[in-house]
A and B are shown apart, each in its own frame.
Chain A
Amino acid sequence: MNNVSPTAPIGDSHQDHKPSPLSVVLKRMWQLRMGVFGFLLVLLLIGSAIFAPVVATHDPLEQDIISRLTPPSFLEGGDSTYLLGTDQLGRDLFSRIVYGARISLMIGLSAVLVSMVIGVLLGLAAGYFGGKVDAVVDFLVNAMLAFPFILLAMTLVIVLGASMENIILALGLSNWPIFARVTRIETMKLREQEFVLAAIAQGLSHVRIVLKHILSNLAAPILVIATVEIARAIIRETFLSFLGLGIQPPTPSWGLMLAEGRDYMLTVWWLSTLPGFAIFLAALGINLVGDALRDLLDPRMRKG
C-alpha cells in the first residue's frame, strides 16, 4: 500500500558503492510518506518523553486548587498559562500528558518486548520441533487464552506489588500467546520450505536454522503484531490503573489520567479526551512505523 513511488532504485545500483544500511532505511523512509508521518509522530512522542522537563510548562505534580478544571486555552474561559487546561486538582494537563508519555511509552514498549521474546521463542520451538514440544506450548497457549487477561494481570500485580517493573512484567507475561501462535504457525509453514530443508541438508545446527533462516522470514508478521500490541498494552495499563493496580497517583500515566477523568466525562470532557487523544496518536504513529518497517525489511520490496 505504501510502496508507491517507482523512483530510482537504491541500494544495489553499483557493486562498489555500498550504502550503509541506515542510509538505505532513511532513503526508503522518504518514499513511504505515511511511514514518515508515523515516524515523525513517534519521534515527537519519544522526544517529548525524553525532554519532558524542557517541554513541559509546569511541574506535573504541582497543584493549583484555585484554578482547578480550567478549560484548555483554545476554549472559552481558557487560561493561556494552562495550554490544555487543568485537572481536578489544578495540575497542568499538558505537562502531565508530556510526562505521561514517559510512563506510557515505557510500559507499552517494554511489556511488548517481554511478550515478544517469550512468545516468539516458544512459537519457534513449537513450530520447528513439533511433537511433544508443540503439545506443551499449545497447552500453555490455550491455558493462557482461557484465563481472562485482566484477572491474570491483577493477580500478578497483587502478588508482585504495584511497581512500574511489575506492571510491565504483568502485562508482558499475560500477552505472549498471540506472538506464540502466529510464530508457531508461520514456523510450521517455513519448516517445510525447501530453503529450510536445504539448510538442514547442509548440516547446519538447529539453533542457526531457527534463529537465522526462519526468524529472518518472520520479521514482518511479528512487527505488525508488535505495533498493534504496543498500543494495546498502553490501553491495558488503563485497566490496571482503573482498578488501582496500575501506576500509582500522583505519577502521571495516560491510562491513569483517562481513568481519573472518568468522573468528569460529561462536564469536563477534555480531562479524559486529551490523554485518550495522546494514546490514539501514539498507537497511530507506532502502527504506521510498523507498516513501513515491514515493507522496508523485505528485500523483495526494496526496489520500486
Chain B
Amino acid sequence: MTGSNEHVLEVRDLKMHFPIRAGLLKRVVGQVYAVDGVSFQIGPGETLGLVGESGCGKSTIGRTILRLYEPTAGSMHFDGQDITHLKANALKSVRQQMQMIFQDPFASLNPRFRVNELIGEAYRVHSGDANWEDHVASLLDKVGLQADQMRRYAHEFSGGQRQRIGIARALAMSPRLIVADEPVSALDVSIQAQVINLLDSLKEEFGFSCLFIAHDLSVVEHIADRVAVMYLGKMAELASDRDLYQNPKHPYTQALISAVPKPEADAKRRDRVILRGDVPSPINPPSGCRFHTRCPHVQDECRKIEPTFGEVAPGHWVACHMHGHSDSGDARGH
C-alpha cells in the first residue's frame, strides 16, 4: 500500500463527499458526490492537466490534495508519504512543499498586505531568513515584475500582474508540487498565453510537478504532459497529451475536442459532436455510466453498469463500455 517514490503525488480512489444539511437540527439529508473515486499519479517535473466542466469536481480534487478539505475516502501519497489523514504539525511541513495558484487573482491576495508580505510571509516564517526581502525580489524578477514594486498593494496591479504575484507566492517555498486551479480562466485571452508561458518556463527552471486544472482543453494542451478528463466526479479518460488530442477514446473527450475552435482558414468542417442537455446533479448522479444521459453512443448496458477505469493502450486509460480493456474482468468489445 505504500506509494512508490517515483511519483511525487499518488492519488488512489479519492472520494470527497460534502454532506447537505437541512432543517432545524441540521440533519444530513444528502451528499454532494463532488469527487467519487478518482486515481492518478504525477511524476517528478510532470504536469498533469485536469479538465472538465464546471461542477465536475476538478477544483475539489485540487483543494483536497492540499488538505483544505478532509477527504471522505481513498488515499493520497506525497513523495511516498501518506498525507490523507496527516495531523496538523506534520501537515505544516508537507504544505510547504505543495503550493496552490488560485483562479481569482483578486480574491486570492489579501487586500491589506503589501506585495512583499503577500509573497514572502510564509518563507519568512518558515525559514526565519532575515534577508527574506531579497528572496522576494528575486521571485518578483522571475515572474516578470520589478523588485521595487514590493511595497505596493495588490489592488495597484492588473489582473495578469496579480496572477504573477500569486505565482511568485506559490514559488516562494520552492515547492515540489504546485496545484494551479484554473490560473488563467479569470484573465483576458491576451494575458492567458503570457501567464501559461511563464508557468511553462518556471517549470523548467524550478522543476516542480504541476496539477494544472482548467475547464478548457485548449489551455491545457500547451502546458500538460498528460491530460485527465473528468466528468461528474469521475475520471473519464487519462492519456498523454498527444494520445488524448489525436486519439480520444471517450465520447465525452471527443465532444470536448471537437468543440475547440481551430484557427486554420481552410479547415474542413469537422463533425462537431454537440452534447445535449445539462450536466446532471452531483447530488443524485445517474446510474451506470455517469455520462449516459448525454452520450451520443449510449447503449443499454451504459444505463445499468458502471464502466471501470482501465488501460486500453499503454498509458491510455478510459472509463467507457465501448472500449474494453484487457486488464479488467468485465472487458467488453464493441
**Residues of A participating in the B interface, judged by any CB pair closer than 8 Å:** 12, 15, 18, 193-195, 197-205, 208, 213, 216-217, 298-300, 303
Considering only CB atoms, which chain B residue lies closest to A216 in the complex?
Answer: B112
Which of A12, A193, A213 is in CB contact (< 8 Å) with B152? A12
* Nearest chain A CB to B134 CB, angstrom units: 16
What CA separation (Å) do A213 and B125 show in the bound complex? 14
Q: Are A204 and B121 in contact (CB under 8 A)?
A: yes
Which of A193, A202, A299 is in CB contact (< 8 Å) with B153? A299
Q: Are A208 and B153 in contact (CB under 8 A)?
A: no
Q: Does B108 contact A (CB under 8 A)?
A: yes
Using A201-B99, A204-B121 as known contacts, say yes or no to A194 and B104 having CB atoms under 8 A apart. yes
Number of interface residues of B (CB under 8 A): 36
* Nearest chain A CB to B81 CB, angstrom units: 15
Which of A201, A216, A303 is in CB contact (< 8 Å) with B68? A201
Q: Are B107 and A194 in contact (CB under 8 A)?
A: yes
Q: Is the interface of B mostly helix, strand, loop or mixed?
A: mixed
Using A193-B107, A197-B63, A217-B112 as known contacts, say yes or no to A203 and B126 having CB atoms under 8 A apart. yes
What CA separation (Å) do A229 and B12 show in the bound complex? 55
Q: Are B151 and A15 in contact (CB under 8 A)?
A: yes
* Nearest chain A CB to B297 CB, angstrom units: 39
Using A15-B151, A216-B113, A300-B153 as known contacts, say yes or no to A194 and B99 having CB atoms under 8 A apart. no
Segment of B50-58, B87-95, B207-215, B288-296 in the binding face: B87-95
A-B contact pairs, 8 of them (CB 8 A): A197-B68, A197-B100, A198-B102, A199-B122, A202-B121, A202-B169, A216-B112, A300-B111
Which of A194, A204, A303 is in CB contact (< 8 Å) with B122? A204
What CA separation (Å) do A185 and B242 show in the bound complex? 49
Considering only CB atoms, which chain B residue lies closest to A18 in the complex?
Answer: B151
Considering only CB atoms, which chain B residue lies closest to A14 in the complex?
Answer: B148
Which of A194, A195, A203, A208 is in CB contact (< 8 Å) with B95? A203
Q: Are A198 and B169 in contact (CB under 8 A)?
A: yes
Using A15-B151, A300-B153 as known contacts, say yes or no to A202 and B110 having CB atoms under 8 A apart. no
Considering only CB atoms, which chain A residue lies closest to B100 in the complex?
Answer: A201
Note all chain B residues with C-beta closer than 8 A to A299.
Answer: 111-112, 153, 155
Using A194-B108, A299-B111 as known contacts, say yes or no to A202 and B122 having CB atoms under 8 A apart. yes
What CA separation (Å) do A200 and B110 show in the bound complex? 13
What CA separation (Å) do A217 and B125 show in the bound complex? 21
Q: Are B68 and A213 in contact (CB under 8 A)?
A: no
What CA separation (Å) do A71 and B107 show in the bound complex? 61
Using A15-B148, A202-B122 as known contacts, say yes or no to A197 and B102 having CB atoms under 8 A apart. yes
Q: Are A203 and B122 in contact (CB under 8 A)?
A: yes
Considering only CB atoms, which chain A residue lies closest to B94 in the complex?
Answer: A203
* Nearest chain A CB to B156 CB, angstrom units: 7
Q: Does B109 contact A (CB under 8 A)?
A: yes
* Nearest chain B CB to A283 CB, angstrom units: 28
Which of A194, A203, A300 is in CB contact (< 8 Å) with B102? A194
* Nearest chain B CB to A149 CB, angstrom units: 29
Q: Does B8 contact A (CB under 8 A)?
A: no
